[in-house]
């Protein structure tokens, strides 16, 4: 039996599913060819595997295989989408719209473009984390070229109304990008119905390997232009040069295939576990749910706790569970979560927050253990605070 704490940080990353690993292994040793080497069988095998994953990812989001561009992950995909559009459409306009709760992999590229003269509008969100569509409509200008709004938030799990945003953008002939790193395999995604022009994906949030992602780039109605941000070799139709990492790509495809097959039953199971945990924790007073109560990822629960020190809370939880207080990609910073403060939380509440990311391998027994220990920890810390 493992002495490790119960893992509840599935928004940071997920373990590679054994079925995914089994699919990947032959491509490290037996089928090790370069998919760009098309003059012999080793290259053909790798090329066929890459083609299969393109088809899998395309089918998952109702795209075509030619619209899938492989990257090292969602961060690179976001950078390629935002900077690539900014450079390609510079003559059309220099205005980009995003929202305050975006991942830093969207906010930071936008801030970088600001130093180059672009105008960035960062819209606030409502108390529940959802975008105000009327505010979005008012934010458009003649020079607006891109709107970037994530599908599912990595901290509070909120699901944004992609179809409504896409329709608003399409009516104004403005490109719509969404970071769907947390969404792929967990919620239905359809780039046609949702009128999405660019979509960032990653494997490691869906029980696939780290280090592989993809960017969907629309080819028709409209055909989206992207200026490459990485040059050398002309791979991926010139949009992203570099030898394709076949084992990771195979793992990506297998992970998404499994997730789609199990999506309905897993959604029900994770929603049940999340509600079970929330019902236990909400028995305590002054526990606040962050984000929309139902329009969120099934395995996400983010709470803020009044009357405790944030660092002490995480320290008290650590022996039993692996959780976080914010984004794993910005965990080195001492600032409170920009997502939680954007919801109107005070700095104290933002610090005293816990993100539970429930995943495929968690059980009811584990959830009950976590709930019991979390309640005991909160009660103990509150008692200590009254004695000071």
Tokens of 204: 């490691």
286 and 211 in a common domain: no
CA–CA separation, 341 vs 4, rounded Å?
32
Is residue 99 within 8 Å of 125, Cβ to Cβ? yes
**CA end-to-end span of the chain:** 39
Instruction: Check whether residue 215 and residue 189 sit in a common domain.
Output: yes
Q: Residue 334 — very low, low, confident or very high, per pLDDT cuts 50/70/90?
A: low
What CATH number does the domain containing 82 carry? 3.40.640.10
3-state helix, strand, coil in the chain (%, to 5): 40, 15, 45
Tokens, residue 205:
């949030």
Domain boundary among 196, 222, 256: 256
Residues 377 and 282 in one domain: yes
In a domain, 270, yes or no: yes
**Total number of domains constituting the chain:** 2
Of 193, 223, 256, the one marking the end of a domain is: 256
Flag whether pLDDT at 240 surpasses 50. yes
**Is 169 a catalytic site residue?**
no
DSSP secondary structure string, 198-229?
Answer: EEEEESTTTTS-SS-EEEEE--SSSPPP---S
Catalytic residue among 10, 110, 169, 329: 329
Residue 215 forms part of a structural domain: yes
Say if 128 falls within a structural domain. Answer: yes
- The residue-averaged pLDDT of 234-250 equals 89
Comparing 44-48, 133-137, 185-189, the range with the smallest average pLDDT is: 44-48
Average pLDDT of the residues in 324-338: 67
pTM of the predicted structure, to 2 decimals: 0.95
Distance, in Å, from the CA atom of 83 to the CA atom of 77, rounded to the nearest integer, reads 10
Looking at the fold, whether 285 and 251 belong to one and the same domain comes out as no
Write the pLDDT tens digit of every residue in 13-45.
Answer: 999 999 999 999 999 999 999 998 889 999 989
Q: What kind and span of H or E run contains 83?
A: helix 74-88
Summarize the confidence of residues 161-185 as an average pLDDT. Answer: 98
- Are 28 and 105 members of one domain? yes
Print the domain residue range for 24. Answer: 19-256
Query: If you count DSSP H runs as helices and E runs as strands, how many of each does the chain have, helices first?
Result: 12, 12
Long-range contacts (CB closer than 8 Å, 24 or more residues apart) made by 23-26: 23/250, 23/251, 23/253, 23/254, 24/209, 24/247, 24/248, 24/250, 24/251, 24/254, 25/247
Kindly state the percentage of the chain with pLDDT values over 90. Answer: 90
Q: Specify if 1 maps to a domain.
A: no
Does the CA dihedral 231-237-242-248 come out positive or negative?
positive
Question: 200: pLDDT confidence band, cut at 50, 70 and 90?
Answer: very high
Residue 191 · residue 212 · CB < 8 Å: no
Q: What is the mean pLDDT of the chain?
A: 95
Tell whether 203 and 77 lie within a shared domain.
yes
What would the mean pLDDT of 48-74 be, rounded to a whole number? 97
Residue 1 pLDDT exceeds 50: no
What would the pLDDT profile of 76-91 be if each residue is shown by its tens digit? 999 999 999 999 999 9
Q: Is 50 within the bounds of a domain?
A: yes
Q: Which of 208, 238, 256 is the last residue of a domain?
A: 256
Radius of gyration of the chain from its Cα atoms, rounded to whole angstroms? 21
Q: Are 234 and 86 contained in the same domain?
A: yes
Q: Which residue shows structure tokens 């660092």?
A: 311
Rounded distance, CA 238 to CA 192, Å? 24
What is the CATH number for 293? Answer: 3.90.1150.10
Q: Check whether the bond before 154 is cis (ω within 30° of 0).
A: no
Measured from the Cβ of residue 65, the count of other Cβ atoms closer than 10 Å reads 15
């Amino acid at each position: 039996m493992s002495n490790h704490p119960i893992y509840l940080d599935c928004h940071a990353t997920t373990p590679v599913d054994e079925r995914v690993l089994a699919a990947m292994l032959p491509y490290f040793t037996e089928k090790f060819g370069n998919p760009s080497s098309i003059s012999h069988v080793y290259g053909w095998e790798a090329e066929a595997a890459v083609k299969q994953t393109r088809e899998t990812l395309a089918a998952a989001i109702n795209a075509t295989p030619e619209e899938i561009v492989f990257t090292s992950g969602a961060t690179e995909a976001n950078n390629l989408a935002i900077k690539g559009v900014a450079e390609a459409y510079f003559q059309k306009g220099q205005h980009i719209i995003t929202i305050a709760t975006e991942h830093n992999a969207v906010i930071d590229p936008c801030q970088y473009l600001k130093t180059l003269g672009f105008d960035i509008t960062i819209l606030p969100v409502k108390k529940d984390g959802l975008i105000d569509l009327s505010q979005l409509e008012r934010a458009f200008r003649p020079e607006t070229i891109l709107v970037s709004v994530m599908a599912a938030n990595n901290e509070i799990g909120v699901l944004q109304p992609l179809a409504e945003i896409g329709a608003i953008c399409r009516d104004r002939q403005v490109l719509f990008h969404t970071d769907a790193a947390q969404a792929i395999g967990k919620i239905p995604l359809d780039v046609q119905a949702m009128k999405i022009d660019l979509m960032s994906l990653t494997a490691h949030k869906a029980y696939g390997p780290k280090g592989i992602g993809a960017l969907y780039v629309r080819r028709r109605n409209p055909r989206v232009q992207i200026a490459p941000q990485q040059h050398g070799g002309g791979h991926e139709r010139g949009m992203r040069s570099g030898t394709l990492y076949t084992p990771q790509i195979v793992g990506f495809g297998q992970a998404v295939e499994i997730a789609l097959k199990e999506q309905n039953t897993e959604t029900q199971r994770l929603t049940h576990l999340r509600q079970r945990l929330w019902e236990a924790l909400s028995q305590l007073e002054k526990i606040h749910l962050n984000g929309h109560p139902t329009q969120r990822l099934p395995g996400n629960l983010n709470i803020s706790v009044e009357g405790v020190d944030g660092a002490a809370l995480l320290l008290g939880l650590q022996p039993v569970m692996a959780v976080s207080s914010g984004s794993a990609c910005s965990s080195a910073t001492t600032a409170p979560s920009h997502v939680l403060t954007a919801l109107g939380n005070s700095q104290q509440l933002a610090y005293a927050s816990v993100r539970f990311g429930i995943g495929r391998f968690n059980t009811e027994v584990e959830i009950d253990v976590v709930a019991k220990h979390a309640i005991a920890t909160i009660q103990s810390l509150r008692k200590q605070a009254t004695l000071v």
